[in-house]
């Protein structure tokens, strides 16, 4: 029931259009949604069934939410609403486009004093507003502090605090405990929380002191071998002086130590007073004279939802700061990105089984083996086989293991089971420093355990790949890096040609850095894509340019997945679907979570009749990269072919909200679906949006819509299309033009012409079994004598692709 209610494009509670899944935890799943009543994007949390089944627990949760709604301050994430729909309890809150502080610290290690103070002052103001409303946070930590993207980019913006009180009430229900002091994260818990005493505003001040200490020094004030030892350490000794780690002005260090006083009476009396004092320190000559550096965005920069950035962390308190708490399908910028330079070695330990499910031992070993298999395909990383790590099942000391194996990094994982639920956790530890550099957790049903493991493997492997690719660009000058970044952005936006298109930006980058391999691969991809979507700047030489660029990339950058995706796309344009599958397999062997490759594979699989598999990969691609609007269009087309028009409309609205409403591909799909449904009024409306340009797609649409409206003689249209077809040297685009012509003449009741154009498509490179079997306009054609033979030809191509692409399945 829940999965259907939260499919992308679905309208939940008659108000919230589901746009994407951001994560899942023990307390529920998080979705990015559009509130159609107010026309804004918000975050929606659907609580886990049974979590608030007791009326007392539900009443307490509602009280906490109502209390949190009192807090209205620019430095606090705004809580919107709480409700129930179809037995599902949910809440909505402000959606933040930015980054969690823990992700920033994972990149920067520590911040300049001026930056750390500015963040701390804004957090203190947010805490002061909450305290004035009678709300205590109780679990403040870097992952609950969000920096808006504009703030990180130096364009103003806010620092905001999230998750006031709500995690506390739900954690108590999950643990069967009373919500007194002992709720929090060990590294930032105040002594009174450890002892289970009453908490007040000064408890949050202590946690802010711990966060400020970490921002300034790059270290935790208290960090023992176990969470319990970490929590207890603050009861037996004072916090360390940050000046013992880094040089700091005395006034700043003394404020940090005051916040970390063991006794509440020794701390600042209020968060507002602390904000004023820290602002005074920030304005002093000692701070203003210190050099400040730009805050770097996390490598995995992407939209971050506040609900997915710490909401569930109180449920499991044994993870250090910086740990990701996105469950199941993590948000794109959750978790620390691994910092493994090229050539380092990695050992995956056998997964430990926790809890009463002893039958999971064999499953734990299988999960470890699969993780080793995926990571071993990551460029630049040497992974030890499971036979080398099996003897360390009981010994988990990274230093010892590193010495025995010569490993630089250890991945340690656990598997927990309770009833029908399981949790997979993995963490990455640098052997030489002992620092945990990355972690994530995934929750789900026991029957989905290998899907969870698969996603965990993909996240680790992709994070490693991104880091290694980034290391290639270290020696480039700023102009080359900027051109490369602009080109990548244009690729995602499907803007390939023109003075500001992806091709031009890649060319600028390669002029400055002709041997930069990621740009060589990207340029090949942009040339192939430009050849498929021709406009006035695309000439008969475009195909040759695409082939030359792909050949050059295969020669100079064969280790990059982007190279093989370009090769796969070129092969599909030629109708060589076996080579397409082989190249896609290679791309996804190199990078199992490469979103563009997953999306392209999903599109072709769904066209070739493997719709469920295709949908799964398209949805995964969009989750990994929400800028891939083309995946939304592919999903929308499939839903329309299946007659699921509500889902189709939702996805198209989502694409339009992303700024793609005027794109020829967007309008083309809308016009086609309107014709499938026989909606002439909608066709008339859409036709007015077509702009007469040099874009060939727009020209086809002009003919298509004019003929459907009776403004063009069908015979003239047939002659125009026949005359234009030889110019389409890209076979896949020419096939699409034939499909459009077939639909066009079916709408005009010219079944003879429609059948001829269908045969033309089949004689070229048609592989679209989904369209052939499901398009409602083709129903009369399916009764014709020649249809069965044409279908056999197309199915033969599809089966060739299925056979080759089947070997991709284990990796994605």
Q: Which two tokens stand for residue 791?
A: 């279908």
The reply to whether 64 falls in a domain is yes
Which of the listed residues 472, 499, 515 is the one where a domain comes to its end? 472
Q: Is 695 assigned a catalytic role?
A: no
Give 277-313 pLDDT, tens digit per residue.
Answer: 998 888 875 665 444 444 444 433 333 333 333 333 3
290 and 171 co-located in one domain: yes
Assess whether 421 and 277 both reside in one domain: no
Which pLDDT does position 634 carry in this prediction? Answer: 95
Q: Does residue 180 lie within any of the structural domains?
A: yes
42-51, 120-129, 176-185, 663-672 — most confident range: 120-129
Can you tell me whether residue 592 is helix, strand or coil? coil
- Catalytic residue among 139, 567, 695, 718, which? 139
Beta bridge partners of 92: 44, 81
Of 371-375, 516-520, 659-663, 718-722, minimum mean pLDDT range: 371-375
What percent of the chain has a predicted confidence (pLDDT) above 70?
Answer: 73
Size of the chain, expressed as the number of residues it contains: 812
Task: Confirm whether 267 is domain-assigned.
Answer: yes
104 and 56 together in one domain: no
For position 176, what pLDDT does the model report?
40
The confidence score (pLDDT) of residue 287 equals: 63
Same-domain status, 248 and 136: yes
> Closest Cα partner for 590 from 567, 622, 572, 571?
567
Q: What is the pLDDT of residue 771?
A: 97
In this structure, what CATH number is given to the domain that contains residue 439? 3.40.50.10610
Residue 67 shares a structural domain with residue 110: no
Domain membership of residue 631 (yes or no) is no
CA gyration radius, the chain: 28
Rank 162-176, 371-385, 539-553 by mean pLDDT and report only the highest.
539-553
The stretch 319-325 carries a mean pLDDT of 27
The winner for highest mean pLDDT among 71-80, 81-90, 572-581, 684-693 is 572-581
Q: Say whether both 162 and 298 belong to one domain.
A: yes
pLDDT one-digit tens code per residue, 602-644: 999 999 988 888 898 898 888 767 778 899 999 999 999 999 9
The answer to whether residue 350 scores a pLDDT higher than 90 is: no
- Report which of residues 352 and 651 the model is more confident about: 651
For residues 156 and 67, membership in a common domain is answered with: no
Which of 119-128, 378-387, 570-579, 743-752 is predicted with the least confidence, judged by mean pLDDT? 378-387
Same domain, 347 and 224: no
Positive/negative CA dihedral, 709, 714, 719, 722? positive
Q: Which of 27-41, 303-317, 503-517 has the highest mean pLDDT?
A: 503-517
Q: Could you tell me if residue 111 is inside a domain? A: yes
Supply the mean pLDDT for the chain.
Answer: 77
Q: Please report the DSSP string for 752-795 in residue order.
A: HHHHHHHHHHHHTT---HHHHHH-GGGHHHHTSTTHHHHHHHHH
Separation of first and last alpha carbons in the chain: 26
What stretch of H or E contains 146?
strand 145-148
In a domain, 686, yes or no: no
> In this model, does residue 171 exceed pLDDT 60?
no
| 3-state SS, residue 382 | strand
pLDDT at 358 over 80: no
- Write down the pLDDT at residue 718: 83
pLDDT digits (tens, 9 = 90+) for 676-735: 998 888 877 877 666 544 455 556 666 766 666 666 778 877 887 787 777 666 889 889
The Cα–Cα gap between 197 and 187 comes to: 17
Quick check: is 18 in a domain? yes
- Are residues 14 and 103 part of one domain? no
User: For the chain, what is the domain count?
Assistant: 4
Mean pLDDT of all residues in 162-177: 49
Each residue's pLDDT tens digit, 729-788: 688 988 998 998 999 899 888 999 999 999 999 999 999 999 999 999 999 999 999 999
242-256, 587-601, 667-681, 747-761: range with lowest mean pLDDT? 587-601
Threshold 0.75, pTM exceeds: no
pLDDT in tens, 260-281: 999 999 999 999 999 999 988 8
What are the backbone dihedrals phi and psi of residue 27, each rounded to the nearest 5 degrees, phi first? -90, -10
| Residue bearing the bigger pLDDT, 572 or 170 | 572
Residue 681 lies in a domain: no
- Residues 386-444 have pLDDT tens digits of 767 878 877 778 778 877 888 878 888 888 877 778 888 888 787 877 777 667 777 77
The CATH number of whichever domain residue 8 belongs to comes to 3.30.200.20
Q: At what angle do helices 714-724 and 696-708 cross, to 10 degrees?
A: 160
Domain CATH number, residue 235: 1.10.510.10
Tens of pLDDT along 439-466?
777 777 776 666 676 667 666 666 555 5
| Main-chain phi, psi angles of 494, to 5 degrees | 55, 40
Q: Write the CA distances from 261 to 210, 214, 636, 767, integer angstroms.
A: 11, 16, 57, 69
Do 353 and 442 belong together in one domain? yes
Report pLDDT for 291: 40
Q: What percent of the chain stands above pLDDT 90? A: 28
Within this chain, do residues 285 and 137 fall inside the same structural domain, yes or no? yes
Residues 263 and 352 in one domain: no
- Write the CB contacts of 280 (distance below 8 Å, at least 6 apart in sequence): none
Residue 45, domain extent: 2-94
- Using the 3D structure, point to which of 36, 61, 94 is the last residue of a domain: 94
> pLDDT at residue 536 above 60?
no
Using the 3D structure, point to which of 438, 472, 506 is the last residue of a domain.
Answer: 472
pLDDT of residue 173: 41
């Amino acid at each position: 029931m829940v999965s259907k209610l939260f499919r992308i494009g679905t309208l939940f509670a008659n108000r919230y259009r589901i746009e994407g899944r951001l994560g899942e935890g023990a307390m529920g799943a998080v979705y990015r949604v559009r509130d159609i009543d107010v026309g804004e994007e918000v975050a929606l949390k659907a609580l886990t069934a049974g979590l608030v089944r007791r009326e007392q627990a539900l009443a307490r949760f509602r009280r906490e939410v109502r209390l949190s709604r009192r807090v209205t301050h620019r430095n606090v994430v705004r809580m919107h609403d709480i409700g129930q729909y179809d037995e599902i309890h949910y809440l909505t809150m402000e959606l933040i486009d930015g980054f969690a502080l823990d992700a920033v610290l994972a990149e920067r290690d520590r911040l300049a004093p001026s930056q750390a103070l500015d963040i701390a002052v804004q957090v203190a103001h947010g805490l002061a507003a909450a305290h004035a409303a009678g709300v205590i946070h109780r679990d403040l930590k870097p992952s609950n502090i969000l920096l808006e993207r504009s703030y990180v980019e130096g364009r103003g913006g806010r620092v905001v605090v999230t998750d006031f009180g709500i995690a506390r009430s739900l954690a108590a229900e999950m643990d069967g405990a009373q919500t007194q002091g002992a709720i929090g994260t060990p590294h930032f818990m105040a002594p009174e929380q450890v002892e289970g005493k009453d908490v007040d505003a000064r408890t949050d001040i202590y946690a802010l002191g711990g966060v400020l200490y970490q921002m300034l020094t790059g270290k935790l004030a208290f960090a023992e071998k176990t969470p319990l030892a970490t929590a207890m350490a603050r009861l037996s000794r004072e916090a360390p002086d940050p000046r013992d780690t880094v040089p700091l002005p005395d006034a700043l260090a003394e404020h940090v130590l005051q916040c970390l006083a063991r006794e509440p009476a020794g701390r600042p009396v209020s968060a507002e007073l602390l904000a004023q004092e820290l602002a005074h320190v920030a304005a002093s000559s000692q701070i203003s004279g210190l050099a400040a550096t730009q805050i770097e965005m996390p490598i995995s920069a992407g939209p971050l939802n506040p609900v997915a950035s710490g909401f569930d962390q109180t449920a499991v308190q044994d993870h250090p700061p910086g740990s990701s708490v996105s469950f199941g399908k993590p948000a794109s910028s959750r978790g620390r990105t691994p910092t493994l330079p090229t050539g380092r070695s990695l050992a995956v330990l056998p997964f430990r089984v926790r809890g009463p499910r002893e039958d999971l031992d064999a499953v734990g070993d299988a999960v470890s083996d699969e993780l080793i298999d995926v990571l071993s395909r990551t460029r630049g990383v040497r992974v030890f086989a499971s036979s080398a790590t099996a003897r360390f099942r009981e010994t988990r000391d990274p230093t010892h293991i590193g010495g025995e194996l010569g490993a630089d990094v250890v991945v340690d994982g656990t598997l927990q089971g309770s009833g029908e639920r399981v949790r997979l956790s993995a963490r990455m530890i640098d052997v030489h420093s002992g620092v945990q550099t990355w972690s994530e957790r995934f929750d789900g049903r026991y029957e989905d355990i290998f899907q969870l493991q698969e996603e965990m493997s993909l996240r680790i492997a992709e994070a490693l790949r991104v880091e290694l690719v980034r290391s290639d660009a270290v020696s480039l000058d700023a102009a080359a890096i900027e051109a490369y970044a602009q080109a990548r952005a244009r690729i995602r936006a499907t803007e390939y040609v023109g003075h500001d298109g992806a091709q031009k930006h890649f060319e600028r980058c390669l002029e400055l850095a002709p041997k930069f391999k990621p740009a060589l691969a990207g340029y090949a991809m942009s040339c192939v894509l430009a050849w498929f979507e021709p406009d006035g700047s695309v000439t008969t030489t475009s195909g040759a340019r695409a082939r030359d660029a792909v050949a050059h990339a295969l020669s100079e950058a064969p280790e990059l997945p982007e190279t093989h995706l370009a090769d796969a796309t070129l092969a599909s344009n030629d109708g060589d679907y076996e080579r397409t599958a082989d190249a896609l397999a290679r791309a996804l062997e190199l990078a199992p979570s490469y979103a563009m490759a997953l999306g392209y594979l999903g599109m072709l699989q769904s066209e070739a009749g493997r719709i469920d598999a295709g949908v799964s990969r398209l949805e995964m691609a969009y989750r990994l990269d929400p800028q891939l609007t083309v995946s939304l269009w592919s999903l929308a087309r499939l839903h329309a072919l299946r007659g699921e028009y509500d889902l189709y409309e939702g996805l198209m609205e989502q694409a339009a909200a992303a700024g793609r409403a005027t794109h020829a591909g967007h309008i083309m799909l809308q016009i086609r679906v309107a014709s499938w449904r026989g909606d002439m009024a909608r066709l008339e409306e859409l036709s007015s949006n077509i702009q007469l340009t040099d874009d060939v797609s727009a020209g086809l649409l002009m003919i298509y819509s004019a003929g459907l409206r009776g403004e063009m003689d069908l015979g003239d249209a047939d002659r125009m299309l026949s005359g234009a077809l030889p110019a389409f040297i890209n076979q896949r685009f020419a096939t699409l033009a034939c499909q459009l012509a077939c639909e066009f003449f079916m709408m005009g009741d010219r079944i003879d012409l429609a059948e001829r154009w269908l045969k033309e498509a089949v004689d070229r490179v048609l592989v679209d079994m989904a369209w052939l079997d499901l398009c409602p306009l083709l129903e009369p054609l399916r009764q014709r004598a020649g249809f069965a033979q044409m279908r056999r030809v197309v199915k033969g191509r599809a089966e060739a692709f299925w056979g080759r692409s089947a070997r991709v399945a284990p990796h994605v």
